[in-house]
């Protein structure tokens, strides 16, 4: 019987080359949709994430509107930290802000007293929301996601968003023991959050390491990659993953570490931002990795003929990889006209788009 396992997205993640790439968009659920903005009136972001009916409806909105090939679960990378009892709020126009940044060895020891298993116990709303979506979507897969240990640590240590993540990078070298304690805990946090979504019905997962591009290759390999492997479930004795669904790994500005983003083959697909053409990325990643990307989000504001030519070029360059999932090189900007995304999907699906 057909199901998500036979969908174009999951087939692409398995490495099956298709005539046309499946397409979904990072941040497709949310700020660019008027129906989302109407639904969110009076509800704080993290409250919306933990309301199963609301989170499910927001997840479904872009699938209904754009006819994308996958839903991505509506949540936020800091939700598992909130479930662990960390004081965090998402401030409009700024992002996650933490009341008590984690900057010393004693801060780290205090934080990690909470066992990641506590998140499993608190994840009922997550599993319920994914289950609601899965029941409605049928054959269309759901992508679960989590923040990677470095990106979560960068927010925790800085206390909020930053451009260079200086405090996080400093901790790696000034107090490597505390860094590895923190990153190990965050890897387990990400893993149990992904597991909750898979248990609920997600058919694939994506690990977001949004800020990995701020690291040198040496620092990435020593201080980050082992923990990202753990987050994606690489904990069994033979090095295989405990997760039973395909895995996507994504970061911004990761050209210098793109091959490392494969995580020794644990990632079935690697997301590529807009800076590196997909044929060049495919040459780096090799014949065993699917590529995802990499429409430039800035071009969503361009005239349609310009954007359509760009999307077509991305699709053609993606043919150099074993398989290709069409996506943006980052998330959907909030000012995007939703009709533009719908037209991109139609173009990718081979429909006549004027």
- Point out the catalytic residue in the list 155, 262, 273, 343: 155
Active site residue 221: no
Nearest partner of 74 among 22, 141, 140, 129, judged by Cα? 129
Of the residues 11, 14, 20, 40, only one is catalytic, namely 40
First CA to last CA across the chain, in angstroms?
Answer: 36
Secondary structure of residue 318 in the 3-state scheme: helix
Selecting among 69, 76, 209, 273, the annotated active-site residue is 76
Residues whose CB is less than 8 angstroms from the CB of residue 104 and which lie 6 or more positions away in sequence, other chains included? 178
Q: Is 127 a catalytic residue?
A: no
Distance CA 330, CA 278 (A): 14
Cα 208 from Cα 147, distance rounded (Å): 5
Q: Using CA atoms, how far apart are residues 123 and 228, in angstroms rounded to an integer?
A: 21
**Choosing from 31, 219, 235, 279, which is the catalytic residue?**
31
Can 76 be counted among the known catalytic residues? Answer: yes
The C-alpha atoms of residue 225 and residue 299 are separated, in whole angstroms, by 32
Residue that the structure tokens 């400093």 belong to: 170
Taking the mean position of all CA atoms in its chain, how far away is CA 314? 20
Among 27, 103, 317, 322, the one annotated catalytic: 27
Task: Assess whether 40 carries a catalytic annotation.
Answer: yes
Query: Rounded to the nearest 5 degrees, what angle is found at the Cα of 145, between the Cα atoms of 267 and 264?
Result: 15
**Cα separation values, 201 from 50, 147, 347, Å:** 17, 19, 29
Is residue 27 part of the annotated active site? The answer reads yes
Residues assigned a catalytic role: 27, 31, 40, 76, 155
């Amino acid at each position: 019987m057909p199901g998500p396992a036979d969908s174009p997205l999951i087939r692409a993640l398995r490495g099956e080359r298709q005539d046309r790439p499946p397409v979904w968009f990072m941040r497709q659920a949310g700020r660019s949709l008027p129906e989302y903005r109407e639904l969110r009136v009076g509800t704080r972001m993290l409250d919306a994430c933990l309301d199963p009916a609301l989170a499910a409806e927001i997840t479904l909105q872009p699938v209904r509107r754009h006819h994308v090939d996958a839903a991505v679960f509506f949540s936020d990378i800091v939700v598992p930290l909130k479930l662990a009892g960390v004081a965090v709020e998402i401030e409009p126009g700024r992002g996650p802000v933490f009341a008590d940044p984690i900057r010393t060895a004693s801060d780290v020891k205090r934080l990690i007293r909470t066992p990641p298993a506590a998140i499993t116990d608190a994840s009922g709303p997550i599993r319920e929301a994914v289950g609601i979506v899965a029941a409605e979507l049928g054959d269309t897969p759901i992508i679960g996601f989590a923040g990677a240990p470095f990106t979560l640590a960068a927010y925790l240590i800085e206390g909020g968003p930053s451009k260079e993540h200086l405090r996080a990078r400093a901790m790696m070298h000034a107090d490597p023991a505390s860094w590895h304690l923190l990153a190990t805990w965050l890897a387990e946090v990400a893993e149990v959050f992904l597991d909750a979504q898979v248990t609920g019905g997600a058919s694939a997962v994506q690990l977001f390491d949004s800020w990995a591009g701020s690291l040198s290759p040496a620092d990435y390999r020593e201080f980050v990659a082992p923990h990202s492997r753990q987050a994606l479930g690489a904990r069994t004795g033979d090095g295989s993953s405990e997760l039973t669904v395909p895995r996507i790994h994504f970061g911004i500005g990761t050209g210098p570490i793109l091959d490392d983003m494969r995580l020794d083959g644990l990632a079935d697909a690697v997301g590529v931002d807009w800076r590196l053409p997909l044929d060049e990325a495919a040459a780096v990643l090799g014949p065993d990795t699917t590529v995802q990307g990499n429409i430039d989000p800035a071009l969503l504001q361009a005239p349609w003929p310009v954007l359509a030519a760009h999307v077509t070029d991305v699709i053609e360059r993606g043919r150099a990889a074993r398989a290709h999932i069409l996506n943006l090189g980052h998330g959907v900007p909030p000012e995007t006209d939703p009709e533009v995304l719908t037209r991109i999907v139609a173009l990718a699906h081979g429909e006549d788009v004027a």
